[in-house]
Structure 1
């Protein structure tokens, strides 16, 4: 009796596998795309490498920093001045990637402390790919650890 149960179980497993294989074999064959599926009107991104200089992002960083500190951290910190702004890299990876300019510098906050800021300007990195986007990090104030450790992930 025990052998009969074992044989029945083995046969049902083989039948199930056979049916599964049959579904794969009898599936529809792959066909080439018709002209409407070719997406001939989508040419893809054409990056020119036109990225603004480092100084162009400072106003955006100032306003975004103040908004982030007041909205999310209930803080009155503001950036009052910048110094030693310089480019650290431009397109540091292969040329097929989205062009970015990496910059660093010092910021003076309204609490009297000077901190480092690291940021990148990204071609077509703004909202919905329109305009240039900016990602930034002020060392010591990356409270949600988005660019940890010590804003190192904000650099190239």
Structure 2
């Protein structure tokens, strides 16, 4: 490890331990939340792409509403990645209402900056990528 990297790691660790650089879900959630239009757009876009390339049902999400957090994890729990687990209702193009489960993982976007959203609609995960009934994003 180069001296520059070692120094950067020491400064980052000192900033985190003194509270100058907060690493909690609550501070990250101030920027992005379950009901954020960017997050809801990401959920809709991912379903559209997944449907077009994998399940080919021809359905799309017309509207996402009633989005709210279910629970969250932060750096004091078992994981080092803060996550916000969310639930919303989706009005689908077939007129049916379905539950959408999704998780926002902070610091997991491109190059570790921003966030990543994984989502699942029960019944639309034929290979159980997210476990039975979308268990891993609940």
- Tell me the equivalent position of 1:30: none
**TM-score, scaled to structure 2:** 0.74
Structure 2 unaligned residues grouped into runs of 5+ = none
- Tell me the equivalent position of 1:80: 62
Compute the RMSD of aligned alpha carbons.
Answer: 2.6
User: Quick check: 2:73–2:79 contact (8 Å CA) kept in 1?
Assistant: no
- Tell me the equivalent position of 1:9: none
In the TM superposition, 1:93-108 aligns within 5 A as: 94=77, 97-108=80-91
Please, which of 68, 74, 79 is the counterpart of residue 50 of structure 2? 68
Secondary structure of 2:111's aligned partner? helix
Q: In structure 2, what is the Cα distance between the partners aligned to 1:104 and 1:137?
A: 10
Q: Deviations over 1:80-114 (max 9, x none)?
A: 11232211112276186221111102111111221
Return closer, same or farther for 1:96/1:71 CA change in 2, 3 Å cut-off. Answer: closer
**TM-score, scaled to structure 1:** 0.67
Residue 75 of structure 1 deviates from its aligned partner by 3.2
- Tell me the equivalent position of 1:121: 104
Structure whose CA Rg is larger: 1
- Tell me the equivalent position of 1:40: 7
Q: Deviations over 1:20-67 (max 9, x none)?
A: xxxxxxxxxxxxx9x749733334686243121111210111111101
User: Quick check: 1:79–1:108 contact (8 Å CA) kept in 2?
Assistant: yes
Between the two proteins, the alignment pairs up a number of residues equal to 122
User: Quick check: 1:100–1:121 contact (8 Å CA) kept in 2?
Assistant: yes
